[in-house]
Amino acid sequence: MNTSNPLSSAWADAFAKLSPRHAFQNPVMAVVWLGTLLTAVATLAGRASAGFGWAVTGVLFLTVLFANFAEAIAEAHGRGQAASLRRARKDLVARRLDASGQDSSVPATELRPGDRVVVEEGQLVPADGEIVEGMATINEAAVTGESAPVLREAGTDRSGVIGGTKVLSDRIVVRVTAEPGHSFLDRMIALVEGSNRQKTPNEIALGILLGVMTLTFLIVVVTLPFIADFVGVQVNVVLLVALLVCLIPTTIGGLLPAIGIAGMNRALKANVLAKSGKAVEVAGDVDVLLLDKTGTITHGDRQATAFHAMAGVDPAQLRQAALLASLADPTPEGKSIVRLAREKGEALTDPARAHFVAFTAQTRMSGVDIPDDRIIRKGALDAIAAHVKSLDGRVPAELEARVIDVARKGATPLVVSDGRHVLGVIELSDVVKRGIRERFARLREMGVKTVMITGDNKFTAAHIAADAGVDDYIAEAKPEDKLARIRAEQAQGRLVAMVGDGTNDAPALAQADVGLAMNSGTQAAKEAGNMVDLDSDPAKLLAVVEIGKQQLITRGALTTFSLANDVSKYFAILPALFAAAIPSMAVLNVMNLSSPSSAVLSALIFNALVIPALVPLALRGVRFKPASATELLRSNMLIYGLGGVLLPFVGIKLIDLVLSALFSM
């Protein structure tokens, strides 16, 4: 099929969707589809004049075709991205390592989870996996569309790589994590093409409502001939079908699949891969957002800016201890401490036979053990205080005041100790992202509560929280604190969203109603979340919520419009049915339509044309601005409710004038 021209592809799909198997998946359009066949048979049987009967049949056929086109054009929007992803998934050759460390070339399709492959500069990553050795810059443009290279490194939360991306520098060893045919790209292609799209709970509920309404009106129309016969009126079967089609909510019935697909497409446009349409919609219903401070609220590149020695401690002693404790710290903060100490005149020495202690979320400190009984540590206030006391040391009374002074400036204090003695405080400065306060204010207007999670002490956390404008914060947080907070919020009936990238985030991502995993993160995090951000931007969660809100508002607005414009169409069809036999019903002909046949055709033509007319709105989404549920309801009723009632009066009257002119020629 030609995917280079979305319109021609969509029209071809629209005709293909006329098959009964597809038509009967949508109860509303199935009734219109059957009505088309019934009017055609009735016309052939002479139950209606040929001109009028075939005109009604043709308009009903176009109604079904336009509804299929709305769904097909939404699906076509994802095909361009699927094609580019397929190009990235071309046949690859891997250099698989055996137990002895020797590599051999094999097709990438033979790789299995657990296999280790080596990838060097200029080569393509053959399969999804995690870097277990080395670090490299990687071009992920084939997946994300972003040409800027990204850094991936073993042993960090940015170790995940995707098959089909290109290594630009260095050499890495990757452990394969995906079976052939089940890679990240394979799943993306299936999702953007709609083959794996499942209906969301709201969509299912609305579908049931539309089905019940359709069945109700079907029963009403079926019983109408018996009522008409009682008053001596013969009702034409073609008119009955026309009445039924105008009574049932054909507009939203035809647009409903397109709205769901378009929601996922809008997420993809923002470079967010939603594993299901449900994830996008649930994002619009979330009540609480859990956000990491670093990288989301702040820029995340905390740098050492000052050393504050305790009274009686030589500043050079503090700087030297901080430098030694940071030599094996690979984080930007650790490197900045080494750099600042050297700028202050400290020599870079690597002590012999030293044992370096890495930072962990549990200990919340790191450092070095030197054979001459020196135990140097740097970390959070409470962690260092507990460590010093465990060595029978004493925490200076001035320490807490120094820490508070640093924290009140919005910086992060790290305390340094040498054995039983506290030497001083390192000041790490971070900056709140520009515009983040306004974004939190937008979320607050939507009724969404924001909670900042940070490992910083309570003073720093309070300062950053106030500066950023979040509603609540969790200071000195451990990985399990995220999971506990999510469960606590859910126990109170709230929907929770969070973002994460590390293996230790996986339980919380899985527990959250919306879990946004970073593309650069570990495979465990990406598997646990129900969304993946291809740009690896933690702040994207804020945009995801707005996309979800827009999805819900779009469906609600178009449903309101569809139900409202049915009211106007009654005034076109009902007089046509009964006015001739019951003159008193002529008062219902408020639009002063020229004839019963013209009234029926005008209503049906308007009914058919309104579906393609609303396709751009369904694809783009209703313009979203933060507001309360009451304000949104009022706006919908005013614009789409009142507009849905008035527009058909104008449209049907104009079509009637055109038809009258044509009939009179």
> Which residues are marked as active site?
292
- Is 157 labeled as ligand-binding? no
- Is 490 labeled as ligand-binding? no
Residue 288, classed as helix, strand or coil, is strand
Whole-number Å distance between alpha carbons of 145 and 141: 4
Q: Extract long-range pairs of 85-88: CB within 8 Å, 24+ residues apart.
A: 85/142, 85/143, 85/185, 85/188, 85/189, 85/192, 86/189, 87/142, 88/142, 88/143, 88/164, 88/165, 88/185
CB atoms within 10 A of CB 654: 12
- Is 550 labeled as ligand-binding? no
Whole-number Å distance between alpha carbons of 528 and 510: 5
- Is 329 labeled as ligand-binding? yes
Q: Which of 333, 292, 303, 331 has its CA nearest to residue 539?
A: 292
DSSP characters for 619-658? HH--------HHHHHHHHIIIIIHHHHHHHHHHHHHHHHH
- Is 303 labeled as ligand-binding? no
Whole-number Å distance between alpha carbons of 117 and 98: 9
Write the CB contacts of 227 (distance below 8 Å, at least 6 apart in sequence): none
Q: Which of 462, 479, 413, 469 has its CA nearest to residue 441?
A: 469
- Is 360 labeled as ligand-binding? yes
- Is 269 labeled as ligand-binding? no
- Is 365 labeled as ligand-binding? yes
CB atoms within 10 A of CB 357: 18
Alpha helices in 360-409 (DSSP H): 381-390, 398-408
Extract the tokens encoding 527. Answer: 């598997």
Whole-number Å distance between alpha carbons of 422 and 382: 12
Strand stretches in 108-215, DSSP E: 116-120, 129-133, 135-139, 150-153, 160-161, 166-167, 171-176
Whole-number Å distance between alpha carbons of 547 and 446: 13
- Is 663 labeled as ligand-binding? no
- Is 333 labeled as ligand-binding? yes
- Is 364 labeled as ligand-binding? yes
Write the CB contacts of 212 (distance below 8 Å, at least 6 apart in sequence): none
- Is 501 labeled as ligand-binding? yes
**Known binding-site residue numbers for ATP:** 329, 333, 359-366, 378
Known binding-site residues for Mg(2+) equal 501, 505
Known binding-site residue numbers: 329, 333, 359-366, 378, 501, 505
